[in-house]
């Protein structure tokens, strides 16, 4: 499912049009295309700063968070609109019944088309508070990757996480030597197309509707900055 128009990518609350973000809305479920730069939940260091749930509440009433995206990741986020829907969706996420698909622009040249990484991950595992591969202390983590397009020194990669560890996709791509473009924390910030944030987009979310159980999928189109970065790579690095 997708909403009309293109989702907003600006985080200036004076410019942000809530209707542009909505992919699906009914009495029990709200699905939106989150702009990059806007946290899903309140910022613990700056509790008065805008956040996704806060800007949606005036239009939709009380919302229950069932999952989240990093501040600089754009794409599909679902909210429950009733406590019962919240319980139902939580059960799905905890039982790994929800399918998530991400697209990432990465630095490097994969020599494979498809690969699954099963390295265990430890959150906050080093001095920079990164998620790191740790065979002894790490928790089970698995991500499947597929190369969608390849350029000179860069690639567009699809990522399907089968577990929900903090920074899982970013850490597994870094482990493969393919850090995400503009992700300075995990090593992708040295050279990149004109993107000012980590080039990761939650492209698709599939779940069972909390009211009727119907399997339903939601797709979020790329925001303007991601499209521009991809266009830059195609022009200046050459698709191959």
- Mean pLDDT over all residues of the chain? 90
**Cβ neighbours around 161 below 10 Å, total:** 18
Condensed to tens digits (0 to 9), the pLDDT of residues 173-190 reads 999 999 999 999 998 776
Q: What average pLDDT does range 195-206 have in this prediction?
A: 95
User: Domain 18-238 adopts which CATH fold?
Assistant: Pseudouridine synthase (3.30.2350)
pLDDT at 43: 79
**Cβ neighbours around 235 below 10 Å, total:** 11
Condensed to tens digits (0 to 9), the pLDDT of residues 201-233 reads 999 999 999 999 999 999 999 999 999 999 999
Pairing status of strand 200-208 against strand 74-80: parallel
Model confidence, pTM: 0.90
Which residues neighbour 159 within 8 Å (Cβ) at sequence distance 6 or greater? 101, 102, 103, 104, 143, 144, 145, 169, 172, 173
Of 11-15, 39-43, 93-97, 154-158, which gets the smallest average pLDDT?
11-15
pLDDT at 120: 97
Residues annotated catalytic, as ranges: 70
**Domain residue limits, the chain:** 18-238
CA distance 190 to 231: 19
Burial zone of 185 (CB within 10 Å; 0-12 exposed, 13-18 middle, 19+ buried): middle
Condensed to tens digits (0 to 9), the pLDDT of residues 134-143 reads 999 999 999 9
């Amino acid at each position: 499912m997708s909403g009309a128009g293109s989702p907003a990518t600006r985080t200036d609350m004076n410019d942000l049009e809530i209707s542009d973000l909505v992919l699906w809305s009914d009495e029990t479920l709200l699905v939106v295309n989150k702009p990059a730069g806007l946290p899903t939940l309140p910022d613990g260091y700056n509790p008065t700063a805008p956040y996704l749930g806060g800007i949606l509440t005036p239009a939709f009433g009380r919302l229950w968070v069932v999952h989240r995206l990093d501040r600089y990741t754009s794409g599909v986020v679902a909210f429950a609109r009733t406590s019962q829907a919240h319980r139902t969706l939580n059960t799905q996420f905890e039982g790994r019944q929800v399918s998530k698909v991400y697209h990432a622009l990465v630095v490097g040249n994969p020599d494979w088309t498809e690969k699954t990484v099963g390295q265990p991950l430890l959150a906050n595992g080093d001095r920079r508070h990164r998620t790191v591969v740790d065979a002894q202390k790490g928790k089970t983590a698995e991500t499947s990757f597929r190369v969608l397009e390849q350029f000179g020194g860069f690639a567009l990669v699809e990522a399907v996480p089968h577990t929900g560890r903090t920074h899982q996709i970013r850490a597994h791509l870094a482990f493969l030597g393919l850090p995400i473009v503009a992700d300075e924390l995990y090593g992708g910030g040295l050279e990149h197309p004109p993107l000012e944030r980590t080039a990761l987009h939650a492209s698709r979310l599939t779940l069972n509707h909390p009211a009727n159980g119907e399997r339903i999928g939601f797709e979020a189109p790329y925001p303007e900055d991601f499209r521009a970065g991809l266009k830059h790579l195609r022009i200046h690095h050459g698709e191959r």
